[in-house]
């Protein structure tokens, strides 16, 4: 299976990246091909709402979203990975997802799999409620098949995350994919 991980953390060596690396290791050991694109380090502009795409055509903006779109459409699975920022996904990843509007109907017909990786400093039991619901709504809207989530609370620093159960959970999520 071809898996595309869409990351949204500006911190190249942070807790989100630890989960991505663990997931990737597990998935590759299971025989899958994994490509990681980090939106935080790409040139992707916000959707302007011009609707020139007709919700099913190329976007008029010429930026790295063209590469992302190509990779999305070549993949069998999308993995969204983000730190929790004020109870939602990062602006960098949200910008990419907003640009899906130019080809969301094409994603919808693909019956792709998906997964979600997120980390948060806070470890209250409600910390991940809003971001979990956002992901699950995206799954419904894009007709994705959720394969699992790793919602790492208490992961404020890479050292905290390394000591937590979440990197292993991400690894196991990647490893169990069929």
Q: What pLDDT, on the 0 to 100 scale, is given for residue 37? A: 98
Q: What pLDDT, on the 0 to 100 scale, is given for residue 77? A: 98
Model confidence over 87-125: pLDDT tens digits? 999 999 999 999 999 999 999 999 999 999 999 999 999
Per the rule left: phi > 0, alpha: psi between -120 and 50, beta: everything else, 6 is: beta
pLDDT band of 12, cuts 50, 70, 90: very high
Q: What pLDDT, on the 0 to 100 scale, is given for residue 5? A: 98
What pTM value is reported for the model?
0.97
Domains of the chain: 2-175 (3.40.50.360)
Query: Percent of the chain, pLDDT > 70?
Result: 100
Secondary structure string (H, E, C) spanning the chain: CEEEEEECCCCCCCHHHHHHHHHHHHHHHCCCEEEEEEHHHCCCCCCCCCCCCCCCCCCCCCCCHHHHHHHHHHCCEEEEEEECECCECCHHHHHHHHHHHHCHHHHHCCCCEEEEEEECCCCCCCCCHHHHHHHHHHHHHHCCEEEEEEEECCCCCHHHHHHCCHHHHHHHHHHCCC
Cα atoms in the Cβ-side hemisphere of radius 13 Å centred on 97:
23
Q: What pLDDT, on the 0 to 100 scale, is given for residue 57? A: 83
Distance CA 56, CA 16 (A): 31
pLDDT band of 33, cuts 50, 70, 90: very high
Q: What pLDDT, on the 0 to 100 scale, is given for residue 54? A: 87
């Amino acid at each position: 299976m071809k898996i595309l991980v869409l990351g949204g953390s500006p911190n190249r060596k942070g807790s989100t990246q630890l989960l991505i690396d663990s997931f990737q290791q597990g998935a590759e050991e299971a025989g899958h091909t994994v490509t990681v694109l980090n939106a935080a380090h790409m040139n992707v502009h916000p959707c302007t709402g011009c609707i020139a795409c007709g919700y099913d055509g190329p976007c008029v903006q010429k930026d790295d979203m063209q590469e992302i779109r190509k990779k999305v459409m070549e993949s069998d699975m999308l993995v969204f990975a983000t730190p929790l920022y004020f109870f939602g996904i990062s602006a960098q990843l949200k910008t990419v997802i907003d640009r899906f509007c130019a080809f969301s109907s094409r994603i919808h017909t693909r019956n792709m799999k998906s997964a979600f990786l997120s980390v948060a400093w806070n470890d209250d039991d409600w910390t991940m409620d809003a971001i979990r619901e956002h992901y699950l709504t995206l799954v419904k809207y894009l007709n994705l098949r959720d394969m699992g989530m790793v919602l790492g609370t208490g992961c404020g620093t890479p050292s905290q995350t390394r000591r937590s159960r979440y990197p292993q959970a991400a690894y196991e999520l990647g490893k169990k994919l069929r």
